Structure 1
Amino acid sequence: MVQNKGAYSSQYPHRIKNSGLSRVLARISSLALPLLFLLALGACSTPSGPGASTQPSGPGYYTVQKGDTLSSIARKFRRSNSQIIAWNKLSDPNDIKVDQSLRIAPEGARTAGSNPASDNAAASRNTRTAEDDRADAAAAAADRKDPVDWTWPASGKASSGVGQGKKGIDILGQLGQPVMAAAAGKVMYSGSGIRGYGNLVIVKHNSNLLSVYAHNKTIVVKEGQMVAKGQKIAEMGKSDSNTVKLYFEIRRQGKAVDPSRYLPSR
């Protein structure tokens, strides 16, 4: 079995350590995928540890939730990306962290919520819109022209899907149970260098679609390897997670889409 420790193989010379998923997808983009992956969403990690500092809070601030990106936060509060970047003096707008406090209004201004909790609750309710659903449906229809034959990547109870700040689904299971490729494709990343995802595998299926498999106990495939639908690629675990589960995403042109629109009923 193969346990790749977070760096590209000799085929892929770009080394990645403690990077966000958006950066990894951007580097994959430079190798094989469309440039739209540069707009891919960030990692789902929750930073912690003794280095964490006290952050501002109160009206005009928003606490970053799992699944947030700079663009999604800007849309929630009807701001531009450049405003959020300027108000927070962000040197790397792709590197926002869960639980980070961001100013989402000019100093002295008030937002609709009276405190961060209400702002966050309102934003979460509005995370997924009818427009998002229509966009996902249109994307799935377009992909039928270059069809991918999907299967579930693991057995077990699955969460209801994207929304409420989530980009993918959690599939609960047993430690060490097989994690399978949800469709045939090429392994583009195999390692543990992306904080918050643990032992991670990314598989490219065609020019538009890829899938993400996180929190594995052990990875059994190498970067550059071709895999078949249903082939074992990892064993379920709890790396960078409090529970044994598989965190699974499907991404279309770098944007997470609702897996239920692609996976078969079960």
Structure 2
Amino acid sequence: MMKGSKGWTSMRNMRLSSVFGYLLMLLILGGCANPTVPVSERDTLSVREEVELLGGSVIRIVQQGDTLYSVAFDAGIDFRQLAQWNRIGEPYIISVGQRIRLTKPDNFVARATGPNSSSGGGLNASSRAGGTSGSTVSSRSVSSSTRASSISAGATPTSWLWPVTGKVIGTYNPSVGRKGIDIAGAAGSTIKAAASGRVVYSGTGLRGYGEMLILKHSEEFLSAYAHNRRILVKEGEQVQQGQKIAELGNSGTDKYMLHFEIRRLGQPVDPSQYLPRPG
């Protein structure tokens, strides 16, 4: 009897182990299918980090708050070139969920991207549809884009002003990723437009820049102002050289400073070659 009892006990233990193993597998699979850990917006598809290959072109999916100018700035591409690659005409309206080519398409033939060109370009036909996917990036993007056609492109700046008073603590060095200069200052210090232009981006969508402004001065030049505490102008607004546009802060960094960039044809250039000599 003792011997038989031991055999029965061993068999029962084996069956229990199998049942527990099966239940554990179901729990694991269920957890994978329905994760209970909250997923933040940054943990979902972030086109600021991820691109995909589609038909030989690197693409980016437009997110809320993006503008054509911010996408081009982030990718280091001339906004006009980006518009042509994606057949996006003025006033350069893009839509949430729209796929934007970041590389030149095969057999690309340049054509005009004026107001009569298609503004539903890119790779996603659903950008014309309603709902979240295909909806206009934001109301401010629409209003700024609509006003764009009535605002002149502006002449290439012949002179630049220092955007803030302070000590340069970081110089231009693209070989180590420094695409502009860093100017230290007191919190809340006045940040001025280095040249006259139009606000084409205002937001926090570009990683590492904090609260950021981009001004378009001409078809050739843009300037960028990052790590602001407060932005005082809106997208689409025309600003004059020397006008107060923001307050110095430390958003996106651990120092109170302004990160200032000048882009020429989409590429960063050394601001010190354009700004007047200090003193």
Larger radius of gyration: 2
Q: RCO higher in 1 or 2 (8 Å CA, sep ≥ 6)?
A: 1
